[in-house]
Chain A
Amino acid sequence: MTSSPTQALAVAAQAVAASKIYGSGDTEVRALDAIDVGFEQGRFTAIMGPSGSGKSTLMHCMAGLDSVTSGQVIIGDTDLTTLSEKDLTLLRRDNVGFVFQAYNLVPTLTAIENITLPMDLAGSKGDTAWVDEVVGATGLTDRVKHRPNELSGGQQQRVAVARALAGKPQIIFADEPTGNVDSNTAAEILGFMRSAVDQMGQTIVMVTHDPVAASYADRVVFLVDGKIVDELADPTPQGIRDHMTQLGA
């Protein structure tokens, strides 16, 4: 899989009429309801919405961790719905980064080994200069030989973001990456993600509940009942709060 040439504000990933239905009959849940959304290259997008609105489902489906029931999910110019399980795996490895809420690291591997894990799985050295740069940006250069249990929660999450960055994926999805840490630590992580977008030109989509966290993004998308209901450009915490009150969320 080759990455498409970068164009200004080209779409890194998009969902087209994407629906995800869990269960059937009485127990049917429409987690995504014919969603159309695109994420432009080199931009930091936040996704917000009440609990159960389908945020995680959207992340998972877009990252190729889960499949949509109908519609399309496109990364670069690849339609994920046409890929085999194996190709999906390779896509995740080479073209997508993902950051979970917690426990993102393999406990037996050191921080640096965790960061280069996707490349090691691919059997390639990757771009070592780039990896060094990413590691430098985490501010953890002197701790890279440590195992996850020797790192704080915030450090662990920064390592997780660094891993997502290290392979230069087309897009990074982060599902509540700061959901499990205090606000100071959250600021470290968010600052790191922001600089990855600004200085490294990375594309990041992040789910969050926290208006302050969302304010680090260039754009906020609001999700309710599996549908995009609104969005906000260049958000401020206060602007986001106001919006949420309007939405009754």
Chain B
Amino acid sequence: MFKLALRSLIDKKLRFALTTFVVVLGVMFVVGSFTLTDSLRSTFAGLARDIAQGADLTVRADQSFGGDFDRATVPEAVGEQVLGVEGVDRIQPELGALNVFIVDSEGNPIRPPGPPALGFNFNPGTFFITEGRQPGAPGEFAADTSTAANNGLLVGETYEISGPISAEPFELVGVFNFGSPDSHTGLGQTMAAFELDEAQRFFGMEDGYQAISVLVSTGSEVSDVQARLEAALGDDYRVITQEVDAAEQEEDFNQVVDIFNTILLVFAFIAVFVAAFIINNTFQIILGQRVREIGLWRAIGATPRQVSRSVITESAIVGVVATIIGIGLGLVLALMLRAILELIGFPLPPGPLTLRPRTVGLALLVGLGVTMISSIAPALRARKISPVAALAHDFRLDATSLRRRVIAGGTVFAVGVVALAAGMTAGLDTTPTFVLLGIGAVLAFVGINTVSPAFARPAASALGRPVKSLFGMPGRLGRDNAARNPRRTASTAGALLIGLALMGLAAVVGESVKKTFVNIIENAVEADYFIRSAETGFGPPPGFPARLADEIEALDEIESVMRIQFAFGGLSVDGEPRDIVAADMALADDHFDGQVSSGDMAAGDPLTALALHSDSAESLRVGVGDTVEATFPDNQTETLTVVAIFEDAAIYGNWLIDGALWDRHFNRNDLAFASARIADLPGAVGEAEQAALQDRSRAAIEGVLDRYPTVMVENQAEFRQTQESQLTALIRVIQVLIGLSFVIALIGIINTLSLSVFERIHEIGLLRSVGMTRKQLRRSIYWEALIVAVFGGLLGVTVGTVFGVATTLALPESFVQTVAVPWLDLVVFVLISAVAGLLAAILPAVRAGRMNILDAIAHE
């Protein structure tokens, strides 16, 4: 039977190629995602080692939660103490800051696209000067070789640098490689290094360091020194070895990689799922075409077992071949993904591709597994083919009755929906939730796909009605062929359905979030101007120098400026880290209306005041006047008093504290955001005067910002516009990524269409013989594809909208309040799938047109 299966594959090269191709795609996506993230991991591991090198031990403040840059500093006095410990040869203080932008000679800040812009004190252990010298005095800095080379920075020239507090000119005195003397091992981040005292001043960390590197004197055991340091410094500090330091760094990086990996895997999962549909579909069609051949086998004595075994063997061969090719192409895909991500503004660090055995194993599981599973149903059906089938002209495999389909599909769908509902209500951050959601989605789609043949024929007929009456015989035939085999039409459309449903879901949820956000901003914005980083991209915007807020506040035209800072996991309550916003609470209500429902933001002592979103207040069961024990990333605990509860999380998030309290516990001085209010003119003011004031105040703010090239100002309308377009862009990126599944669906349509054309060769020959022109023939195939694609599109958009609305309703109030359906987007999606259908039809249509008429007629 193996020989038979092999023969059958070799004889039907096209069939083999098409089936294999689909499996290859699925495998390719899996291998591509894993390879890419594994490569990232190993690149980051290398970086982590580079960062940790040059120190035997590192001393830093103990930290139980929060970001690395929010860790408490190590006071200078601790440095003295460390030096006094036996076996310590030398120490090297370490200092780092985010958002240190070098401004090039053209006046443009150098923005690494993605990685951060960092500032350090010059560390001779890991920074290796290649030109010039290390910075040794105030007003001097050194830059890494790649930043210098890529931006034409010259040693001896002076450049403006925008730091956490101010923007100042510095002379470039040297250029260095990071990590190794011979080559720079940075990952695209820009690095500006200063002399230690200068770094402390410029970063606003005068009284300490972020960490102290310790070099152990020769003859001392590192572990002994570590023990002695731990004893001397006590519980507030950690003393870690180079290995642990590297491992912790790596883990930090890996958290980012893991998120990335999850996202890629979700897309790989979608790809495999879509591919599985197509594979199954292809096997079914192929089986339909081979009925007669199989009947012949049976007639000459093959047992049903042998028949089904040959079908399964055939699929196993396809699976293995496809897996091998898929692994190869997966590596190519990883490179392509890297290029694509770089194009849309997410550059990844370079580095060799890593193909791990685990990836190969998964590829086999997917490639072979999906193919084998997809061939089970066809194999079982093949057993039922009787020898008589070899004789009948139009023997058809019994299709499952539509009634049974609707019942079975409906049940699967219902189970899927229940799982989805359970997943949605279970909270959004646990693994079981994702598993539930995943299983629910798969079941729901399988259910829909099982039921959809029941209405594929009426739907295709209905969709085709105008086509038929408007576009003559080609339109008519296209419609008939689309409606001819509802199962095939439904599963071809099913491949499109998945992608479209997900795009539709993203569109509805996204639009609802956007609408909610826009409404909120519309109602909440009280300030006149908004000052933010000029960088537009995804993720939290980089901070900017705090001092510019003082300068703007000092302007005559400006009444007040509110400074906003932000920290992920900025404080911990009940052992759980919470994201916080810090602002001038006395001004908060004047600049943004947070919809305070009880209390007063401006009331109370700024050093202990806390304002809470009602969701958080509810879950903590606290009200105005109650106290909350809050721990900060510097391990200090404070008793905060709830002064206000607000309803609108758009600006202030869930946890709002005052800037004064922030300054006490955070070393980060840069602002995330600032808003300004124009001072009112005395007396009654005419419109013209008001407009003039607007112009004057804006000019004044822009005058200040001239000195801060990383920062820009927006008025209310511009601010709203930016917020809205950023959300739109994010939704688009998600949709484009989901849209990749279109590529697979496209191949699915090419596949089915080619096979269904192949099935009709005789008929096509006949049509051509009675005078159908090539053009008419091609058109009829285009119409067929179009109808199938639009069917899939409509179904997908409908399913997506329903799921989208359900998801929106299930999401927390603080996130979405309105349900909005982006009709135009949905129409565009259907159009996109129509275009996809047409594109997919080109190859089969052209091939059909080129077919020799007599050969076609002779074909049965």
Q: Which A residues have a C-beta under 8 Å from some C-beta of B?
A: 60, 63, 65-66, 85-86, 89-90, 92-94, 98, 100, 103-109, 117-118, 120-123, 149, 163
Interface class of chain B by DSSP: helix
In the A-B complex, the 10 residue pairs with the smallest Cβ-Cβ separation, listed nearest first, are A93-B771, A108-B480, A120-B473, A92-B771, A89-B773, A118-B771, A121-B473, A118-B770, A121-B772, A121-B771
Whose C-beta in chain B lies nearest to the C-beta of A56? B854
The complex places the Cα of A109 from the Cα of B394 at a distance, in Å, of 16
Q: Which B residues touch A85, using CB under 8 A?
A: 774
Please give the distance in Å from B468's CB to the nearest CB on chain A: 11
Q: Which B residues touch A163, using CB under 8 A?
A: 770
The complex places the Cα of A109 from the Cα of B766 at a distance, in Å, of 13
The complex places the Cα of A168 from the Cα of B769 at a distance, in Å, of 16
**6 CB-based A-B contacts, threshold 8 Å:** A66-B853, A86-B773, A89-B771, A103-B766, A108-B480, A121-B771
Residue among B473, B477, B481 with the highest chain A CB neighbour number at 10 A: B473
The complex places the Cα of A109 from the Cα of B772 at a distance, in Å, of 15
- 14 additional contacts, CB 8 Å, given A93-B770, A109-B477, A123-B473? A89-B773, A90-B771, A92-B769, A92-B770, A93-B771, A100-B766, A103-B766, A105-B766, A106-B763, A117-B767, A120-B476, A122-B771, A123-B472, A149-B394
B716 near A: Cβ within 8 Å? no
Please give the distance in Å from B280's CB to the nearest CB on chain A: 25
Residue among A60, A65, A103, A149 making CB contact with B762, cutoff 8 Å = A103
Please give the distance in Å from B504's CB to the nearest CB on chain A: 32
B857 near A: Cβ within 8 Å? yes
B768 near A: Cβ within 8 Å? yes
Whose C-beta in chain A lies nearest to the C-beta of B768? A89
Whose C-beta in chain A lies nearest to the C-beta of B773? A89
Contact between A98 and B769 (Cβ–Cβ < 8 Å)? yes
Residue among B476, B773, B853, B860 with the highest chain A CB neighbour number at 10 A: B773
Q: Which A residues touch B768, using CB under 8 A?
A: 89
Whose C-beta in chain B lies nearest to the C-beta of A94? B771
Whose C-beta in chain B lies nearest to the C-beta of A63? B769
Whose C-beta in chain A lies nearest to the C-beta of B473? A120
Q: Which A residues touch B771, using CB under 8 A?
A: 89-90, 92-94, 118, 121-122
Contact between A90 and B773 (Cβ–Cβ < 8 Å)? yes
Interface flags, B829-860, vs A, CB<8A=1, else 0: 00000000000000000000000011001001
B484 near A: Cβ within 8 Å? yes
B776 near A: Cβ within 8 Å? yes
Whose C-beta in chain A lies nearest to the C-beta of B477? A108
Residue among A100, A105, A108 making CB contact with B857, cutoff 8 Å = A100
The complex places the Cα of A121 from the Cα of B769 at a distance, in Å, of 12
Contact between A121 and B770 (Cβ–Cβ < 8 Å)? yes
Contact between B769 and A103 (Cβ–Cβ < 8 Å)? no
Q: Which A residues touch B763, using CB under 8 A?
A: 106-107
Q: Which A residues touch B476, using CB under 8 A?
A: 120
Whose C-beta in chain A lies nearest to the C-beta of B771? A93
Whose C-beta in chain B lies nearest to the C-beta of A86? B773
The complex places the Cα of A163 from the Cα of B476 at a distance, in Å, of 18
Residue among A86, A93, A107 making CB contact with B774, cutoff 8 Å = A86
Contact between B472 and A120 (Cβ–Cβ < 8 Å)? yes
Q: Which A residues touch B854, using CB under 8 A?
A: 60, 65-66
The complex places the Cα of A101 from the Cα of B853 at a distance, in Å, of 15
Please give the distance in Å from A54's CB to the nearest CB on chain B: 14
Contact between B766 and A104 (Cβ–Cβ < 8 Å)? yes
Q: Which B residues touch A60, using CB under 8 A?
A: 854
The complex places the Cα of A65 from the Cα of B767 at a distance, in Å, of 12
Please give the distance in Å from B465's CB to the nearest CB on chain A: 15
The complex places the Cα of A106 from the Cα of B762 at a distance, in Å, of 9
Whose C-beta in chain A lies nearest to the C-beta of B480? A108
Please give the distance in Å from A32's CB to the nearest CB on chain B: 14
